Structure 1
């Protein structure tokens, strides 16, 4: 998801948040801790994906953050009356708008399970109800949350 914001200097900037993997695919630069940007290469992408996996494995819901300053015809965009507004209404244009991004980083959000979840799982098990998880989280996050709520039963083989 992206939004165009007007900077204090009057220029427009596209701010984008989304799945880390997706944003990394669409990023051509990465912003370093000192604020400088460098071209992103495959080894950098893999390192960032590894950090993302580490965060997800701890049950954090992760979002990637990126931006773009060179907006082409959207550089002067100001309102729905702007000639380029039609481009923003066309979903087929989104991939070209949200490309050549500067990847800024990953945010990990902790969303603890509700207290009543353990009782609900135990009630379902006692009633013979099979529990299935359907989530928008990535696999590592989902597995970590399932371990936390003891959805995965530990089976010992003797």
Structure 2
């Protein structure tokens, strides 16, 4: 079970796109990359944006389950990384990029880092417990903050602060 999340940080589609492009700008000087491995599901959107911005055509995914809404549970690899991508990571003249939306406790990140020990690991957001696990990120948020990604939210009625909408 993860620590209580006392703060919230809602991220709109526009903001997430801007932050993902900002990450691409930072990564541009680290490349060129021969392939991206996105950690699903959160890494899919930033990986697509980064692939477009940096001209990367080879996109692989690794699927690891560790969250059920806000509760972090047992780590389970649902889909591993293809052998040809693992071989790229082992080659001296090739460069693989790992992309995810967030590094939180580092549990998922450490599992993927073990699969691709030479890859450059980039996330859009990073929390202090695992910030040192990633090579590049855009924004650091406190450990007690829950990030609400655009795909987590829906537009709904919000009652007025005063308590009456008469």
Is the structural similarity TM-score above 0.5?
A: no
Alignment TM-score, normalising by the size of structure 1: 0.24
Q: Determine which structure has more spread, i.e. the larger CA radius of gyration.
A: 1
Higher strand share: 2
Higher helix share: 1
Alignment TM-score, normalising by the size of structure 2: 0.23
